[in-house]
Amino acid sequence: MSNPSILSKAGVLLALSTGLTCLPASADDLANFKASFAEKGIAKLDRLEQSELQKICSTYATKPLPAKVRAKLEKAEMAAVKHPADGNYLGDWKEGEKIAQNGRGLQFSDDAKTVNGGNCYACHQITKSEIAYGNIGPSLAEYGKLRGGPTEAIVRYTWSKLYSSHAVNACSVMPRYGAAGILSEQQMKDVMALLLDPQSPVNQ
């Protein structure tokens, strides 16, 4: 028979890693759990702390998030999205593909100079030719093609989604690539091109 304390700790770790605490836990349990972690390399203990939005989403982890609460959270996140100052949203899709394939960065074994990847294939099918990908998120194959190309509305929506997924879906578990500083502005432009450039393999 499985040890329930081990299962509980594993579940809390998974919940914290996604920014959501889905398991009921006392304050003492949570404090003891956090105390079991130690900083190592670039992985600091601040990663265990939730933002106010994440705390609210945790409260509603097992019940529907009220529409008014969702709208308020998304409005605040959308207002915080920083768009490119030069007005250019699309970079090089070839570089974007490299970023989508790269899962390195932000791990305790990396150093501060490691260039982060997007690790997009961990959750999405992006190109039809890719044979290994995750299915936590929807397929992004033909993303731009299905949406009629890189129109202004689609470009701004996609940028906002990449910058802060919470701006589009308040309790999304997708990384906030811009807001959390995971990808640089240029990297985000390159991923944008991967998704929206008509010449990108995504849209073939």
Three-state secondary structure readout of 58-88: HHCCCCCCCHHHHHHHHHHHHHCCCCCCCCC
The pLDDT score that the predictor gives to residue 11 is 45
Give residue 18's pLDDT band: very low, low, confident or very high (50, 70, 90).
Answer: very low
Domain that holds residue 127: 93-203
The pLDDT score that the predictor gives to residue 45 is 84
User: Which residues neighbour 102 within 8 Å (Cβ) at sequence distance 6 or greater?
Assistant: 115, 116, 117, 118, 119
> Is residue 74 domain-resident?
no
Judged by DSSP in three states, 40 sits in strand
Q: Which of 39-48, 121-130, 140-149, 189-198 has the lowest mean pLDDT?
A: 39-48
Q: How many CB atoms lie within 10 A of CB 27?
A: 7
pLDDT in tens, 105-154: 888 888 888 899 999 999 999 998 888 999 999 999 999 999 998 999 99
> Is residue 192 domain-resident?
yes
Q: Where are the alpha helices (DSSP H) in 164-184?
A: none
Amino acid letter, 186? Q
> Is residue 156 domain-resident?
yes
Mean pLDDT rounded to a whole number for the chain? 87
> Is residue 72 domain-resident?
no
pTM of the entire structure?
Answer: 0.83
> Is residue 99 domain-resident?
yes
The gap from C-alpha 143 to its chain's centroid, in whole angstroms, comes to 18
Residue 50 DSSP label: P
The pLDDT score that the predictor gives to residue 138 is 95
Q: Tell me the two tokens of residue 38.
A: 């130690």
The Cβ-side half-sphere exposure at 26, using a 13 Å CA radius, reads 3
> Is residue 82 domain-resident?
no
Domain count for the chain, please give it: 1
- CATH classification of the domain holding 178: 1.10.760.10
Give residue 23's pLDDT band: very low, low, confident or very high (50, 70, 90).
Answer: low
> Is residue 12 domain-resident?
no
Backbone dihedral angles phi then psi of residue 90, each to the nearest 5 degrees: -110, 125
> Is residue 63 domain-resident?
no
Judged by DSSP in three states, 43 sits in strand
Q: Tell me the two tokens of residue 155.
A: 């470009």
pLDDT at 74 over 90: yes
